[in-house]
Amino acid sequence: MRSLTPEEKRVIIDKGTEYPFTGIYTNHKEKGTYHCKQCDAPLYRSADKFDSGCGWPSFDDEIKGAVKRFKDADGRRTEIVCAACGGHLGHVFEGEGFTSKDTRHCVNSISLVFRKDQATTPAKTETAIFAGGCFWGVEHLLKRVDGVLSVESGYIGGKTPNPTYEEVCSHTTGHAEAVRVIFDPAKVTYEVLAKRFFEIHDPEQINRQGPDVGDQYRSEVFYTNEQQKEVALKLIDLLKAKGYKVATKVTKATMFWEAEAYHQDYYERKGTQPYCHSYTKRF
């Protein structure tokens, strides 16, 4: 069972509801499966997802046996929960005529975790992991590089398994806020990505990035193979030759822990721009 943040607990355990049009999966259209945030049991398939305009993810069917229904405490609606762990998902409605199945599972995004279908990913992909201050801004700017397939915010480099945001911010776990980049090497090289990383944050700052201060905001490249290590070190040498006092560390990647759902796609959902990351040409 996954440990929950206070907001996740408010919805999943205490049967709360997130505000409409704020969830990360409301307008999500990738092909894959939606799992329970608490226990990771598969609940819904993307093929059964539709746009109801209600402000929450809507599905007209569930994976067989994955969801249980109960009369809601208000005596009018029907609550739906994960059959495996009992975590609150939302409510189900019938007779609205949205689809031929005439059913709408109205689900809180915060109750879900999405797993992309492998078939939608090119046969050959590579992974890059970068830490350069608040992961919101790094994620936002690296997503715009052609050839990048996905960018996920998370935690790496610490000692606590599956840390929460609050634990990382307590400076007791040793983790850095980082992003995991899945890219198509036929379209973009690791060196291009690494250069962009060095140009969207300030590699001279130590344990901070702009107004954000703490070891979780350190500048660090987590390499997944020796070639990535060589590229990162080469780029650092180039920057030092240009006069930059580079503080970026180069470390072998360890376990990457996915951050809470509310950290993913942060600026896309907010409709704003990063406050401490911007592009500066350095190469």
Half-sphere exposure of residue 174: CA atoms within 13 angstroms, side-chain side: 7
DSSP per-residue string spanning 199-237: HSS-TT-SSEETTEESGGG-EEEEESSHHHHHHHHHHHH
Q: Which one, of 47, 37, 7, lies nearest residue 111 by Cα? A: 37
Q: What's the rounded Cα separation, in Å, for the pair 100 and 201?
A: 50
Would you give the distance in Å from CA 134 to the centre of its chain? 13
Nearest to 50 by CA among 24, 27, 68: 27
Q: Catalytic: which of 36, 39, 85, 134?
A: 134
Residue 134 annotated among the catalytic residues of the structure: yes
Residue type, 245: K
Cα 157 to chain center, whole Å? 17
How far from chain centre, in Å, is Cα 253?
18
Give the Cβ contact number of residue 88 at 10 Å. Answer: 23
Query: Among residues 207, 215, 208, which one has the least CA distance to residue 171?
Result: 215
Which is catalytic among the residues 36, 106, 169, 276?
Answer: 106
Indicate the residue type of 191. Answer: E
Residue 85 is given by DSSP the state: T
Q: Which of 12, 70, 69 is nearest to 36 (CA)?
A: 12
Among this protein's residues, is 106 annotated catalytic?
Answer: yes
Among all residues, which ones are annotated catalytic? 106, 134
